[in-house]
Structures are given as C-alpha cells and as structure tokens.
Amino acid sequence: MIHQGFSFSGEVREPFPAVIRAMEETSVPVTSVDAPSSWNIEDGPPKSGVGGSFNPNVLVSLTAPKPLVRFFKGRHFIGGRFVLYLTSCPSHCMGLFRCY
C-alpha cells in the first residue's frame, strides 16, 4: 500500500483516523511518501492517539529528508527532481539519513 500524507495541523479529523488505524494494523507493507500520515514534520509520530504506533515499512522523502526521519525505523529512499545531486552525496550523508 502506498500513501501520501498532506500537511495538516491539529487533531486528525474524520475520516482519516480509521484509515491510519487500518495502516497501523495491516500486514501489507506500507510505503509513505514524504511524511507518514499523522506524523509531525519536526517531532515524528504522535506520543499517543491516532497514528501513535504507525511506522510504515518504507519512507520516500521528496527532495530532502525531513527532521522526522530520526524517528523512522524502516527503509528510507530519497526521490524527486534532485535525485542525481543527492546520489552523489558523500556516503556519510547518506548514512546520516539512512538512505538506500
């Protein structure tokens, strides 16, 4: 399953709590594009409530990794229009962002 979250603030509103819970509970691998749904760009997953245990299998960061990457525990890729530049990044940078 591939999903892309959209910027929002405040509490997760209907109908999205049910969708996020389904992604938390599925055995199907989930790929998030840019930022997992319910995650804060700076602070990562919510400490409790909807999305608190959601950690997708794969994260594809667009253009550059967001600060939330430090909370992510799956495979991480960088995509977007600057991929050629980023793939020439020194290996220690790629390791810092856990990119493959």
| C-alpha to C-alpha distance for 60 and 32, rounded to whole angstroms | 6
Give yes or no for residue 60 having a pLDDT over 70: yes
Mean pLDDT, the chain, rounded, equals: 80
DSSP state of 26: -
Among residues 73, 82, 44, the alpha carbon closest in space to that of 5 is found at 44
Burial class (CB in 10 A: 0-12, 13-18, 19+), 64: exposed
| Whole-prediction pTM | 0.72
Please identify which residue in the block is written with the tokens 């990119």. 99
- Domain map of the chain by residue range? 2-96
Out of 5-14, 59-68, 74-83, 85-94, the most confident range is 59-68
- Determine whether domain 2-96 maps to CATH 3.40.50.300: no
Top pLDDT among 82 and 41 is at 41
Q: Which helix (H) or strand (E) holds 33?
A: strand 31-33
- Tell me the pLDDT band of 8, cut-offs 50, 70 and 90: low
Top pLDDT among 84 and 29 is at 29
Averaged pLDDT for residues 55-76: 91
H helices of the chain, in order, are 16-25, 83-87, 91-96
